[in-house]
Structure 1
Amino acid sequence: MSAIRWNRRSVLASMAVLSVGAGLGGRTAIARAAATTRYTMTAFTNGSDTDLYVYESEDAAHFTLLRAGAYRPAAGLVRDPSLLRHSDEAYYIAYTTAGDGHTIGFARSTDRLTWTHLSDYPVPVSGAEAAWAPTWFDLIPGYVGVLVSISQGYGFRPYLIVTADPARPVWSSPIPLAGIGPQRPGHLGYIDTAVVARDGSYYAFTKNESSKYIELAVATTPLGPYRFIGTGDWAGWGTPREGHCVIELPDGGHRIYFDAYTEKRYFYSDSHDGFRTWTAPVELPGLSGTVRHVTVLPEPAGAQ
């Protein structure tokens, strides 16, 4: 199979057929039509960055353990596991395999509990010294993408790679998100970027690696250019914070989960006004102090 030939122009062409209000993780459109009562969480933990932990909730706040050590790669780590359910009804995780290098890992499951390693993929970015926190990007019709934070020795920036089939991926060349990257000499750039589509715009939640705040940028296309509309402690979440995941709630609001990693605590916060204001952070009951860098995937009631 030949590599996908993908560039900014082809992304924009595909976006022309994307309906306004597409969401994160491939399940938001369904969530708007029916209340989502099952939330699956994947995480690594303070005790292990080589084992995948899987949890489930009915209210997006109180999670119970489904399986500890659901997956351990033969080599490397399983940090920052990002969860996707694809149109083939299988689940996929993308994850960080090491603290340095330019390789990210992938695994697949049909039941969320038993996982099969698919590949370790070296992201082809010239001079890459670290590839962190690959995050699924399901906002381009007919394709699945992954945003990965790449450092080339002078600060991190998010790159997008896309494929038509995550089970047998042929990845496109990486494309940087315009407007999100090192801002000046000595700036450490941005990591853990996650993009949410809302009302025809694209909102990037991304950690400023210099200030350690989770900041917010917006664009009219998924590749940018992004402009920052929330910097510093704009949402009242504090610092240092990272490992964030944003989901849509059944009532149309949004919830962000984030890692207060130096405190070994995990929080969530809600917005019901288009990301302008957020509720005071609430500690994740039962799991704060245990989980690290979670992904939460909402699905309709009765999902198999």
Structure 2
Amino acid sequence: MKLNQFLSSIILLCFFISCNAQKEVYLFSYFKGNGEHGLHYAYSKDGLKWETLHNDKSLLTPEVGEQKLMRDPCIIKGGDDKYHMVWTTGWTERGIGYASSEDLINWSPQELIPVMEDEETARNCWAPEITYDQKKDEYMIYWATTIPGKFPETQSDMDSGYNHRMYYVTTKDFKDYSETKLLYEPGFNVIDASISWHDGKYVMILKDETREPAQKNLKVAFAENLTGPYSDASKPITGKYWAEGPTMLKIDNQYIVYFDKYTDHQYGAVASKDLKNWTDISDQITFPKGTRHGTAIKITQAQLEKLKSIDKK
């Protein structure tokens, strides 16, 4: 009887350890300064309080592009169980950075994907993101670009004359890519789109970049298919402050959109249970000082412990 009780205790202990290792926590990838130092991580167990990893030092130094920056890093877990990352490599590039990893620590050689090479006048490729399409087993990479002369109805001389729209390519293997196409034309200067699958539809959180009169807020659009068409943008879900770089998590029964209050040099957040009615919860969150435009994902407690172990080596 005692032996059976002992074995039962061992089984329960192993079960507890296994469950704890698989418990979900949250990882935030971001950049600091101008992006010259590279990739930074923070973690959270509740989605509200975020703490730095690796003593807030860069885990990956940018190597591609003319300016060799690593701004706006976006990391997702793909259908192949690998992590895929894209980022802005410079202010005036016609390509974006890409690398993959199996453990969020060791990354493949960095590549420059020339997504706008056929648009000789394209001024930039900013804030790229990736979304995995499970139905098609393929990835969509999308970003904001200004092509001079296009969309003159929303052209402004302010903000250096940038007039962005969202463009995309698709790929199954990050080797062969589709031709570049227009993803979203909402009738205004748009940037910083972030798309995820929730409640049977694709949800796009986007920034209205209109300068005259100033918007600089976040809005929401929906689609049945990843490549669209997307609905008209909603009313602003953020306040009178200027916001950019949204990323969204669903934690328990609510959605949280984190964003960079870039003129206030701090991070903010809004929350919703239905993706329609939003409440500002910026006073409930804390982020490491200097955090800039990043992406939040779910990882396991075991993965977090591996990331923490880097500092001990």
Normalising by structure 2, report the TM-score.
0.75
**2:245 maps to 1:243:** yes
Matches within 5 A, 1:1-304: 37-46=24-33, 48-67=35-54, 68-75=57-64, 76-124=68-116, 126=119, 127-141=121-135, 142-153=137-148, 154=150, 155-166=163-174, 169-180=175-186, 183=187, 189-210=189-210, 211-231=215-235, 234-249=236-251, 251-282=252-283, 284-287=285-288, 289-303=289-303
Q: Distance in 2 between matches of 1:255 and 1:282?
A: 13
Q: Distance in 2 between matches of 1:60 and 1:228?
A: 29
Structure 2 vs 1, CA of residues 229 and 158 (structure 1 numbering), >3 Å: closer, same or farther?
closer
Structure 2 vs 1, CA of residues 273 and 36 (structure 1 numbering), >3 Å: closer, same or farther?
farther
The residue aligned with 1:9 is: none
Quick check: 1:241–1:260 contact (8 Å CA) kept in 2?
yes
Stretches of structure 1 lacking an aligned partner (at least 5 in a row): 1-34
Shift of 1:229: 4.7
Q: Distance in 2 between matches of 1:240 and 1:49?
A: 24
Shift of 1:36: 5.4
Structure 2 vs 1, CA of residues 144 and 267 (structure 1 numbering), >3 Å: closer, same or farther?
same
Shift of 1:227: 2.7
Q: Distance in 2 between matches of 1:263 and 1:279?
A: 15
Structure 2 vs 1, CA of residues 285 and 161 (structure 1 numbering), >3 Å: closer, same or farther?
same
Quick check: 1:178–1:223 contact (8 Å CA) kept in 2?
no
The residue aligned with 1:15 is: none
Please state which structure has a larger fraction of its residues in helix: 2
Q: Distance in 2 between matches of 1:94 and 1:100?
A: 16
- Alignment size in residue pairs: 259
Shift of 1:74: 2.2
Residue deviations 1:3-44 (CA, integer Å, cap 9, x gap): xxxxxxxxxxxxxxxxxxxxxxxxxxxxxxxx9522111100
Query: In structure 2, what residue type is equivalent to 1:291?
Result: T
Please state which structure has a larger fraction of its residues in strand: 1
Quick check: 1:73–1:117 contact (8 Å CA) kept in 2?
no
Quick check: 1:237–1:281 contact (8 Å CA) kept in 2?
no
Choose between structure 1 and 2 for higher RCO, CA contacts under 8 A separated by at least 6 residues.
1
Structure 2 vs 1, CA of residues 48 and 223 (structure 1 numbering), >3 Å: closer, same or farther?
closer
Query: In structure 1, what residue type is equivalent to 2:60?
Result: Y
Shift of 1:178: 4.2
Shift of 1:284: 3.6
Shift of 1:208: 0.9
Indicate the structure (1 or 2) with the bigger Cα radius of gyration: 2
Query: In structure 2, what residue type is equivalent to 1:196?
Result: S
Quick check: 1:207–1:215 contact (8 Å CA) kept in 2?
yes
Query: In structure 2, what residue type is equivalent to 1:99?
Result: W
Shift of 1:286: 4.2
Stretches of structure 2 lacking an aligned partner (at least 5 in a row): 1-21, 151-162, 307-313
Quick check: 1:269–1:282 contact (8 Å CA) kept in 2?
no
RMSD: 2.4
Quick check: 1:179–1:227 contact (8 Å CA) kept in 2?
no
Shift of 1:97: 0.5
Q: Distance in 2 between matches of 1:120 and 1:277?
A: 37
Query: In structure 2, what residue type is equivalent to 1:240?
Result: W
SS of the aligned residue for 2:31 comes to strand
Query: In structure 2, what residue type is equivalent to 1:131?
Result: C
Structure 2 vs 1, CA of residues 178 and 107 (structure 1 numbering), >3 Å: closer, same or farther?
closer
Report sequence identity in percent: 23
Query: In structure 1, what residue type is equivalent to 2:180?
Result: P
Shift of 1:256: 0.5
Normalising by structure 1, report the TM-score.
0.77
